[in-house]
Amino acid sequence: MNKINPWAFGIVFLSFVAFYAWNGFKLPIFFWGKTYKQDAIIYDTKIHTVSFGGQVNWKQTVRYLYQVDNNWYDGSYTLKGSQSKQNIGNLISLEISKLRPSKHRVRAFYKSDQNIHNIEKHFETRQISGYKKFNVANRVFSLIDFSVQEDSISNYYGILHVKNDSIKELIPIIHYYKSKTYLEYQLIDQSLRNQFQNKYQIMQSQKDEKSIQLKPLEETFYKS
């Protein structure tokens, strides 16, 4: 019986590890059945620095949302060094399974400057009991609510419903909640969406001032 060559096994193993790392530490996605193409929108980005052989490189992980038949799904992807850095609000082309819409893979990124109207706004209010931060970038929003009493942070991500250049509604899609003893990350259902609408009285947009009024939040920084 022939013995397995340890050198050959080592080469195969290292090749697999290299491919696994190059693929963002994810196994390749294979589809069974029909697929279709659809765009997703980036709602969060994180930059990581990687040190290898004395050289420091960056990696960026993006999280994105997409909708199929009135249901929302989310995913994440770590960009490779040759890919351009992405901004919140940028679009991604996905290949999605018709049988299982949650199963998908990234096809391509659109140019990072595809947002002609690159509007970015930041609001913040600080209180004894904590603080609230509200960020808007290219029709994507995030709302962070930190409570000192509960030592918890609640973070909502979603999109803006805009009509005639005025913001009509915040549509929360992702909810992230973290405390000392509890961690939850979920897609928002109708019940939680109603709670959000009741807790955070939604805003007005003034065209002439290019400003958003969101009581009790106060605008601290604006860039366009």
pLDDT (0 to 100) of residue 222: 37
d(CA 11, CA 18): 10
User: Averaged over 135-146, what is the pLDDT?
Assistant: 89
The three-class DSSP label of residue 64 is strand
Taking a C-beta distance cutoff of 8 angstroms, is the pair 101, 121 a contact? no
- pLDDT, one tens digit per residue, over 62-119 is 999 999 988 999 999 988 767 888 989 999 999 999 988 888 989 889 875 555 456 6
- pLDDT, one tens digit per residue, over 4-58 is 566 665 665 555 555 545 555 555 555 567 898 999 999 999 988 777 666 777 7
Identify the CA nearest to 196 among candidates 145, 151, 162: 145
| Terminal-to-terminal C-alpha distance of the chain | 71
User: Averaged over 109-138, what is the pLDDT?
Assistant: 75
The stretches of the chain forming alpha helices (DSSP H) are 6-22, 190-199
CA 114 to chain CA centroid, nearest Å: 18
**Residue position matching structure tokens 């994180």:** 46
